[in-house]
Structure 1
Amino acid sequence: MLFLALLLVSAGLAAAAPFAFPLANGFPNLNATTLQQVEKLAGGTLPNGALPSTLTPDGVQTLQLIAANELSEVAFFTQLLQNITSKVPGYHEGHHPYIIDTLTAVVAQEQVHVLSANGALANANQTTIQPCQYVFPVSTFESAIALAQTFTDVVLGVLPIAQSVFTADGGEEAGLVPIVGSIIGQEGEQNGYYRFLQKKVASSAPFLTGGAPQFAFSAISQFIVPGSCPNINVIGLTAFPALTLQSTPQAANSTLIFSVSGPLNAANATLVYITGQNLPVSVPIANVSSATNGSTTFAASFPFDSGFNRGLTIGALVAGAGKTFNNTAEVAAATLFGPALIEVD
């Protein structure tokens, strides 16, 4: 799977029951009174400025991806809050009133984010994204907060790309740039809190790790119950096959073990790391071994001391031996399996 190995491999966490919409308040379909209640809990309102009346195809895809991501976050944090307030075993650490108040605000804020993205799509007569059913493989408050930090790291890596898309044509979409910028700041506030709860340094690094839309879509897809989405296919992205990290990463030069489903030729593949705002780092793979279940494991060096960031590093297995890349978009275009989300603190 796509998660940090500590969540899926080492911890062996069980998946929760599928989460389905609508919420108790009717979300994603809110009347005016309920919207005001959500905005009050969120601490602020939807932007009331003019929205684009037209969108480029890239702009449509970007807003649809944002909406899909925010829907998954609404589902995750709603379920987390329910597990805490219902006193589900394993979630006792979240019973503090401050934590409950914070998560209550986050649930409302993510709802407003969905309404903002889908509202921009609707204003331009484009397809809005409807919710799926979701499964989140966490069973404790601790594992849930670790997962929240990881997927928020991914979000923070891809939202700046959305800003670039909205400025590319110089049209009406440019008005969305400050809105997305404010979401980046808001998600950063959230992530500092999730890191604090884990007793990590609140801000991981001076420059956060970048991403790519394909990696973000893959992150969303691995939460989704297959066949449960009314229209997520309209986004036009395909999730990569999983690249699973089998070993626990350390903040030092080391060797990591990965696995993929299916055969693999070491002479025609390269492991690429994306960390901070640095150029992607390519390393060869070795010790390729096939299992009877069809999976393949391999080893790759993890050159952390050569300038890797604290926090998130993205790993991707790409086609071709000895391949090098100038940016994350090039990595995503060549990816065979991934991303592996590697958290080091």
Structure 2
Amino acid sequence: MQARYDKCADKSGSRWADEQYSLLALNEIFEVAYFTELLANVTNNVPGYDAASIAPLDRTYVIDTFTAVVNQEKLHAAGVNGILESAGQPVIQPCEYVFPVTTFTEAVILAQTFTDIVLGTLPEAQTAFAADGGDESPLVPVFGSVLAQEGEQVGFYRYAQKKLPSAAPFLTGGSPSFAFTAIQMFIVPGSCPQPLSAVNLTTFGPLTVVTAPAPKNMTLEFAVPGAVASDTNSIVYLSGQNLPVTVPISTVTSNAGLFHFTSSFPFESGFAYGLTIAALVKGTGESFTSNDAVAAATLYGPGLIEIG
């Protein structure tokens, strides 16, 4: 059976042309590498991934689950690369990766986080495909099916942590440059066959969330590798399908090349459980009406906050 992926050539001038298709392929290939390593660790009883570490989950069930995920992600990657190839664009090859996890629990927490980012990026792709029309319109249901499949995956990652399988009624949206920056957290610099600089998306400076967040109003500490000031910068939160929330920063200090600052986290004002994205932006007090507008003003981010 020929997939609808194979019949959809890219359209010149598309907002999701070339660069964003490359982003989706880059992400799917990263996921293949991540879950292949996770599956190998569980299969080979690597310390931290052995039967005792994954209990009370059944080891055979976990192996079967991640075998399916690896195979599914391979098809996702092949599909997006097929779109690039049909448009005469270079297909994306694997990079070298570093995964900052050493246990099964850490691995599923990270899998939940980056899958949440994907779940926020794919709806924007669907919107662009629908607006462009023409040859791209068949991609709307295709990526809708990928979106639903990734949702099934994240339900398992949450269940493995004894969390409710579904985090919130409306998941957090994103923007392509936030996803592009997040993927690069795991890529060994200079290891990609195609230079990442060829992808026409912004790579932001890192925004570290220093404080462990909780589902309540609280103050969070952040750190960035560059100068910031309370009269020229703000933090913006993206949570659920709410409008972005802008809050001031304060208590700016510097130490060993890092600037630390604090900002309120107004969770009880209607933030969603699951993923919240933080970004340090230019300006103060600005009201943003879209996630893309936040990305356009961002200096450092995304800061990834998982609540429940």
- Sort the TM-score into its range (normalised by shorter chain): over 0.9
Kept after mapping to 1: 8 A contact 2:96/2:187:
yes
Q: Does 1:69 align with 2:27?
A: yes
The residue that corresponds to 2:3 in the other structure is 47
Any residues of structure 2 matched to 1:173-192 within 5 Å, and which?
173-192=136-155
The residue that corresponds to 1:87 in the other structure is 45
Kept after mapping to 2: 8 A contact 1:255/1:300:
yes
SS of the residue corresponding to residue 313 of structure 1 reads strand
CA shift for structure 1 position 169: 2.0
Cα gap change, 1:294/1:47 in structure 2, threshold over 3 Å: closer, same or farther? same
Cα gap change, 1:230/1:49 in structure 2, threshold over 3 Å: closer, same or farther? closer
Q: Pairwise CA RMSD of aligned residues?
A: 1.4
Partner Cα separation in structure 1 for residue 117 and residue 290 of structure 2:
16
The residue that corresponds to 2:219 in the other structure is 255
Kept after mapping to 2: 8 A contact 1:46/1:116:
no
The residue that corresponds to 2:246 in the other structure is 282
SS of the residue corresponding to residue 18 of structure 2 reads helix
Any residues of structure 2 matched to 1:179-328 within 5 Å, and which?
179-231=142-194, 232-291=196-255, 293-328=256-291
Kept after mapping to 1: 8 A contact 2:5/2:79:
no
CA shift for structure 1 position 53: 3.5
SS of the residue corresponding to residue 199 of structure 1 reads coil
Cα gap change, 1:287/1:184 in structure 2, threshold over 3 Å: closer, same or farther? same
Compare 75-84 and 93-102 and name the one that shifted more. Answer: 93-102
Specify which structure has the bigger relative contact order, considering alpha-carbon pairs within 8 angstroms and separated by 6 or more residues. 1
CA shift for structure 1 position 233: 3.2
Any residues of structure 2 matched to 1:153-192 within 5 Å, and which?
153-192=116-155
> What fraction of aligned residue pairs are identical, expressed as a percent?
53
Cα gap change, 1:48/1:213 in structure 2, threshold over 3 Å: closer, same or farther? closer
Partner Cα separation in structure 1 for residue 293 and residue 66 of structure 2:
37
Partner Cα separation in structure 1 for residue 174 and residue 226 of structure 2:
25
For these two proteins, the number of residue pairs brought into alignment is 300
Compare 270-279 and 87-96 and name the one that shifted more. Answer: 87-96
CA shift for structure 1 position 50: 5.3
CA shift for structure 1 position 211: 0.2
Q: Does 1:330 align with 2:290?
A: no
Give structure 2 stretches of 5+ with no counterpart.
none
Partner Cα separation in structure 2 for residue 133 and residue 322 of structure 1:
40
Q: Quick one: which amino acid aligns to residue 241 of structure 2?
A: Q
Kept after mapping to 1: 8 A contact 2:5/2:80:
no
Compare 213-222 and 55-64 and name the one that shifted more. Answer: 55-64
Kept after mapping to 1: 8 A contact 2:6/2:79:
no
Compare 248-257 and 80-89 and name the one that shifted more. Answer: 80-89
Give structure 1 stretches of 5+ with no counterpart.
1-44
Q: TM-score, normalised by structure 1?
A: 0.84
Q: Quick one: which amino acid aligns to residue 262 of structure 1?
A: G
CA shift for structure 1 position 182: 0.3
Partner Cα separation in structure 1 for residue 12 and residue 31 of structure 2:
26
Partner Cα separation in structure 2 for residue 46 and residue 312 of structure 1:
35
Partner Cα separation in structure 1 for residue 11 and residue 188 of structure 2:
30
Partner Cα separation in structure 2 for residue 302 and residue 200 of structure 1:
22
CA shift for structure 1 position 46: 6.7
Compare 92-101 and 102-111 and name the one that shifted more. Answer: 92-101
CA shift for structure 1 position 61: 2.1
